[in-house]
């Protein structure tokens, strides 16, 4: 599943990020806690260069708690300033602001030694589509500044947003990279809703998600769908069992395989079955 996905507004956003980088003190990257590697845009590493980074693992309530703690530890070892949050938390600023202060401490200390008065921290906030960036921003700003939606590509332009008395945020549209060479990355992004369903093979995505759960949490999967499936079982047989259990049938009492595909993706994407992290520290 080779995916090409680079709408014009994303190319424009990258250029604008490069142009504004001189004004930026710290980069705040919003990642999906379920896919902290796959939701990181490697294209922006070159763009943001050596700016200090605060990494926000959003949607922690949908991710495996043990894995999230392991990823926090890993990111700290990489010299980043990580935190795991639920984007709907109204007190997000209390978790993010101290990290931004710590990340920029050395820079501001140098400025003060030169006699330059302290000012607000200027932060660039980044994130691929549908990682919950707009929800995070709205809760930081304490009002509805950024548009939200459970589909990729809602934010279309950059805007400066005041965050309390200590920070100013530059919001940007969600930016994906031009091509996913790794098929598994594309499936993870689709499964969590970062890629529009129109550009992927949903059958492959559903099977990937189903196999992941059968490998890592088979009992919960079987209980949720009231089936007795195993990762080595025939895919069609598992689909038929889920279709019968959920009443997903077409004309003539036949199983509606498309409906089963959509149901599996919906249930995993929205955390109906359980909390899962698809980028794992240890398999």
For the chain, the domain total comes to 2
Residues sharing a CB contact under 8 Å with residue 68, sequence separation 6 or more, in sequence order:
33, 57, 60, 84, 277
Any domain includes 189: no
Could you report the per-residue pLDDT of 138-154, keeping only the tens digit for each?
Answer: 888 776 655 544 444 44
73 and 32 share a domain? yes
Specify the CATH number for the domain of residue 217.
Answer: 1.10.1580.10
Tell me: do 256 and 126 sit in the same domain: no
**Selection from 276, 161, 272 nearest residue 213 by Cα:** 276
Distance CA 279, CA 256 (A): 31
Best-predicted range by mean pLDDT (11-15, 139-143, 194-198, 222-226): 222-226
Residue 147 shares a structural domain with residue 205: no
**Can you give the pLDDT at residue 155?**
44
Which residue segment(s) compose the domain that 173 sits in? 3-179
Domain CATH for 173:
3.40.50.300
pLDDT in tens, 1-10: 555 545 555 6
* For residue 272, pLDDT beyond 60: yes
Domain termination site, one of 114, 144, 179: 179
pLDDT given at position 133: 85
pLDDT of amino acid 256? 95
Tokens 């492959």, residue located: 204
Of the two residues 171 and 177, the one the predictor is more confident about is 171
Look at residue 193 and tell me if it is in a domain.
no
């Amino acid at each position: 599943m080779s995916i090409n996905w680079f709408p014009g507004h994303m190319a424009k956003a990258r250029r604008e990020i490069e142009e504004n980088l001189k004004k930026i003190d710290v980069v705040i990257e919003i990642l999906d806690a379920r896919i902290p590697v796959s939701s990181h845009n490697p294209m922006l590493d070159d763009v943001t260069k050596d700016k200090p980074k605060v990494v926000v693992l959003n949607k922690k309530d949908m991710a495996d708690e043990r894995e999230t703690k392991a990823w926090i530890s890993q990111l700290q070892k990489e010299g980043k300033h990580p935190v795991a949050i639920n984007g709907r938390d109204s007190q997000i600023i209390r978790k993010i602001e101290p990290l931004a202060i710590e990340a920029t401490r050395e820079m501001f200390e140098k400025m003060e030694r030169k006699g330059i008065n302290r000012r607000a921290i200027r932060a660039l906030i980044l994130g691929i589509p549908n990682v919950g960036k707009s929800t995070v921003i709205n809760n930081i700003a304490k009002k509805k500044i950024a548009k939200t939606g459970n589909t990729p590509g809602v934010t279309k332009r950059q805007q400066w947003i005041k965050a309390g008395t200590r920070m100013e945020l530059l919001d940007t549209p969600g930016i994906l990279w031009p091509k996913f060479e790794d098929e598994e990355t594309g499936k993870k992004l689709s499964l969590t809703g970062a890629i529009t369903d129109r550009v992927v093979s949903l059958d492959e995505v559903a099977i990937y998600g189903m196999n992941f759960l059968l490998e890592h949490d088979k009992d919960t999967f079987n209980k949720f769908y009231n089936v007795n499936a195993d990762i080595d079982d025939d895919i069609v047989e598992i689909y038929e069992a889920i279709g019968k259990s959920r009443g997903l049938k077409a004309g003539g009492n036949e199983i509606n395989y498309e409906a089963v595909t959509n149901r599996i993706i919906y249930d995993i994407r929205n955390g109906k079955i359980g909390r899962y992290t698809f980028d794992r520290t240890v398999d």
